[in-house]
Structure 1
């Protein structure tokens, strides 16, 4: 378990280049500044920003094999995990889906300032996003699992990988799925929070819409 800011930064640094780490340092600084203007993340979490946000996002890479196609981050908000993934994997195309105006402006600005040419912001509701095939779908605090899957079903294929941080409710949300779909998903222990789980899966979700 990663417990301190020092451990969190070391964990991240072992998974990316020095250039990517510099971008993440930039992101940390920009987030702290922007958070004084709008409540992107809980103010209390800024004291553990590497643990609570950067490493918490970076750990998702542990459960994703080399994806083919786009990494799609739903309800990107402050940019976690999408911005972290884009910074750590500059060859990976990332789409950040966000509908709130001030969050969109933040994501567009920080993506530009960090030089994340592999990252694009879809500033609209998920229902309005054009169809595409996602290699990975991630979402942090976006929606309950059943609704999330219904909304994102049209972006999934048989090879789509799902990585969905869900906190304490992870196992409960998986068990609430229709029985024939439960086998698509399992829960992994978060490395940054002893009480949190991450729903991991692979496949084409074609449940009831």
Structure 2
């Protein structure tokens, strides 16, 4: 039985569709996402990002999205949640697109950091997201440094999720929850908290 795709609230679908149109226009000039038809992009990027929203904690506080690229999932979650959101992206052309996307969506609570992750002046994050950025052991290092004490990380992963968890466990301890992706049967969403170096447990 085919799994039903996630959806977005009716009041946010129209602005997200406008954002999709903006993405299609910019994608002809700079490489933001792989070329595809609009409905494929809607599912692969917009709905894939939106499915993270129900997994976010109710705790107020900033969301930090690393390697934001074309705004997935950070800009979509900023619209769906209204949270203070920090997007970190080192490519200046992509940052220009993110600025235009935030303006189009009226997201005044979004701050874009055009720099490397290590150099970004970020607040302690209640939520940390990263999509197709780096292997889990590297993401755990970022999470340990950037998360607030009771914060959590949401990392969508593909078929390598189990292997990456095994590799990360060599150097990191964490509380791990796994959720099946509703847009890709081969993908998993990892929700991690209490991320600590193994050396700190000794």
TM-score, normalised via structure 2 length: 0.89
For structure 1, the residue ranges without an aligned partner over 5 or more in a row are none
Greater Cα shift, 157-166 or 172-181: 172-181
Q: SS at 1:165's partner residue?
A: strand
Q: Describe the shift of the 1:131–1:25 C-alpha distance in structure 2 as closer, same or farther (beyond 3 A).
A: closer
- Equivalent residues in 2 for 1:91-102, closer than 5 Å: 92-102=83-93
Aligned to 1:54: 46
Aligned to 1:42: 34
**Distance in 1 (alpha carbons) for counterparts of 2:130 and 2:3:** 21
Q: Describe the shift of the 1:195–1:182 C-alpha distance in structure 2 as closer, same or farther (beyond 3 A).
A: farther
Q: Describe the shift of the 1:202–1:118 C-alpha distance in structure 2 as closer, same or farther (beyond 3 A).
A: same
Q: Describe the shift of the 1:79–1:32 C-alpha distance in structure 2 as closer, same or farther (beyond 3 A).
A: same
Q: SS at 1:157's partner residue?
A: strand
Structure 1 position 156, deviation (Å): 1.4
Which segments of structure 1 move beyond 6 Å, counting only runs of 4 or more?
A: none
Computed over aligned residues only, the root mean square deviation of the Cα atoms, in angstroms, reads: 2.2
- Is 2:77 aligned against 1:81? no
Structure 1 position 114, deviation (Å): 1.8
TM-score, normalised via structure 1 length: 0.86
Structure 1 position 56, deviation (Å): 0.2
Q: Say whether the 8 Å CA contact 2:66–2:87 is kept in structure 1.
A: yes
Q: Describe the shift of the 1:131–1:47 C-alpha distance in structure 2 as closer, same or farther (beyond 3 A).
A: closer
Q: Say whether the 8 Å CA contact 2:177–2:192 is kept in structure 1.
A: yes
Aligned to 1:69: 61
Measured against aligned partners, the alpha-carbon deviations of 1:73-107 in whole angstroms (never above 9, x if no partner) come to: 000001000110111122x1111000011111111
1 or 2, which has the higher strand percentage?
2
Structure 1 position 205, deviation (Å): 3.8
Aligned to 2:105: 114
Q: Say whether the 8 Å CA contact 1:108–1:121 is kept in structure 2.
A: yes
Q: How many residues align?
A: 199
**Distance in 2 (alpha carbons) for counterparts of 1:158 and 1:34:** 38
Measured against aligned partners, the alpha-carbon deviations of 1:50-83 in whole angstroms (never above 9, x if no partner) come to: 2111110011112222132110000000100011
Greater Cα shift, 152-161 or 194-203: 152-161
**Distance in 1 (alpha carbons) for counterparts of 2:68 and 2:174:** 27
Aligned to 1:12: 8
Q: Describe the shift of the 1:125–1:207 C-alpha distance in structure 2 as closer, same or farther (beyond 3 A).
A: farther
